[in-house]
Structure 1
Amino acid sequence: MELLSAEFFQRALIGGALIAITAPLMGLFLVLRRLAMIGDTLAHVSIAGVALGFLINVYPVAVGLLFAIAASFGIEMLRKMYRTYAELSIAIIMSGGIALASLLFTMGKGFNLSVTSYLFGSIYTLDYTDIYVIMGVTVIVLSMVLIHKKELFLLTFDEDAAAVSGLPMKYFNIMLSILTALVISAAIKIVGALLVSALLTIPAACSLALSRSFKQAVILVVIIGEAAVLAGLWIAGVANLAPGGTIVLLLIGILAVSVASTKLIRT
């Protein structure tokens, strides 16, 4: 109970609970659109922005966010150029992000330890500025998803039908990319850039294995994300483990149980 009374742990719980809503939710849309790897790509580009933020002494998450948004536009542009080979856009942007991050690392050797915390996550160091940023991202993401839920459903399951029906495809594709960039930028300090993709994709994999409808999948993905993040934080705090790694391993455990239970039901 002493852990719950600690202010740093309370901030960690608030930040974790908020990102556990938005990251799995956006991840579900990405997985259904076969864009699961976009999370890794934007996370690596965000790290380049974080490194630049430390280098120029500007709030790192804000610079990382700008980099992620720019990368999301780049991915969308390349997807249109290489329609038959859409995955090329992800590979190209990811390569550029890693290259730029490594270059900035060599330019700022004095802050490499600080940047490393963004690679592996540092949820216990969240301050009130971080919390407000995560809250803002949560409000924006949930608002846009609720406002455009019908359009996003159609776009996710049948992009061609969405285009024929007259939906502004460019707007919605860019909107989803920007929302994903917002979530990833907010999440990298919680689970780290190297693990943020797991928070996007594994809850989605669990919910898709267990649900029978899109509505069920949306509800389950948030429940699973919340359960894994909050339980992972508690276990990590009590056992003095790395929070990001604990959350991801717990998610993998939930996925294993989900897949096993689904097979048992079907047999």
Structure 2
Amino acid sequence: MFRYEFMRTAFIVGGLLAIVIPMIGNLIVFKRMSMVGDALSHVSLSGIAIGLILNVNPLLGAILMAIVATLSIQYIQDRFGKYTELATAIIMAFGIGLSAVLLGFVESPASFNSFLFGSIVAIGGSDSMYAIILSVIIVIISLYYYRDFFFIAFDETAATLSGINVKRVNTIFMILTAITISVGSRIVGALIVSSLMVIPTATSLQLEKSYRQTMFIAMVYSLVSVWGGLAASYYLNLAPGGTIVLLSIALLMITIVTQQINKVVRK
């Protein structure tokens, strides 16, 4: 399969995303914001539709709309106080509704569908370049703010007392999340990327490791899921995005069963 350039590109871009997504997903899970990924992925679809309608790069439209959505989530959360989960539901509903309306103006529904569930063949030169550049930027920023992200993941009050500007750090984190989901939508699909953001971290949590260890183990699971899913989709002629997610769920199930067996053996 590596004889084909599109497969080599898919493995390179997919490998980068497999590293980047758990860096963001780890914090999302610890902050108990797992549904944010779903909301942003649905809004990114409307950005993709806008890009297709205006004949500009759909990835840029997805990133722009996802960033607007993530800033809107923060604004709505401030308005609803303790009912912060309403913000995610509202933005998700907005994304679904707007995407449904805009889809009627897209001349080529097949192009839009490739973003729904991912398409290896659809990854062009510009898309791969954007994905690589943005992935590197996300990694650099995430490493720079690692300490701040770690603090806000567990206790925002303590983070504030330690001198961290929690609002600014949360905004940076949410923007990184929006960009990650938008980039990931191109290879695994907008409806699937949020699952890949959560499942590897959920799998690594079964091993009961520290925050840092959980993140690195999630990266390993993510890499296995992405590369294994891409290979399986090629040889078995399956949808790549769905295959990747199903493999990640299989790894989660295997890990859970293995851990339960180990506990029984120890007893």
What amino acid does structure 2 have at the position aligned with 1:189?
R
Q: Supply the distance in 1 between the matched residues of 2:121 and 2:159 (Cα, whole angstroms).
A: 43
Unaligned runs of 5+ in 2: none
Q: Which structure 1 residue ranges, 4+ long, deviate > 4 Å from structure 2? A: none
Which of 3, 11, 28 is the equivalent residue of 1:5? 3
What amino acid does structure 2 have at the position aligned with 1:47?
L
Contact 1:75/1:90 (<8 A) preserved:
yes
The 5 Å alignment of 1:31-110 reads 31-108=29-106, 110=107
Match of residue 19 from structure 1: 17
Match of residue 266 from structure 1: 263
Please report the RMSD computed on the Cα atoms of aligned residues, expressed in angstroms: 1.0
Is 1:257–2:254 an aligned residue pair? yes
Match of residue 115 from structure 1: 112
What amino acid does structure 2 have at the position aligned with 1:178?
I
If the length of structure 2 is used for normalisation, what is the TM-score?
A: 0.96
Match of residue 217 from structure 2: 220
How much identity, in percent, do the aligned residues show? 38
Contact 1:211/1:220 (<8 A) preserved:
no
Which of 174, 178, 183 is the equivalent residue of 2:180? 183
Q: Supply the distance in 1 between the matched residues of 2:209 and 2:62 (Cα, whole angstroms).
A: 37
Which of 219, 227, 231 is the equivalent residue of 1:230? 227
Q: Supply the distance in 1 between the matched residues of 2:185 and 2:154 (Cα, whole angstroms).
A: 28
Deviation at 1:38, TM superposition (A): 0.6
- Tell me the matched-pair count: 264
Unaligned runs of 5+ in 1: none
Deviation at 1:107, TM superposition (A): 2.3
Contact 2:34/2:198 (<8 A) preserved:
yes
Deviation at 1:54, TM superposition (A): 0.7
Deviation at 1:211, TM superposition (A): 3.7
Is 1:160–2:162 an aligned residue pair? no
DSSP-derived class of the 1:210 partner: coil
Deviation at 1:135, TM superposition (A): 1.0
The 5 Å alignment of 1:118-129 reads 118-129=115-126
Is 1:196–2:190 an aligned residue pair? no
DSSP-derived class of the 2:142 partner: helix
Contact 2:23/2:142 (<8 A) preserved:
no
What amino acid does structure 2 have at the position aligned with 1:188?
S
Contact 1:192/1:244 (<8 A) preserved:
yes
Q: Supply the distance in 2 between the matched residues of 1:195 and 1:83 (Cα, whole angstroms).
A: 30
Which of 231, 237, 240 is the equivalent residue of 2:237? 240
Deviation at 1:209, TM superposition (A): 0.9
Deviation at 1:236, TM superposition (A): 0.9
Deviation at 1:25, TM superposition (A): 1.8
Q: Supply the distance in 2 between the matched residues of 1:83 and 1:162 (Cα, whole angstroms).
A: 19
Match of residue 170 from structure 2: 173
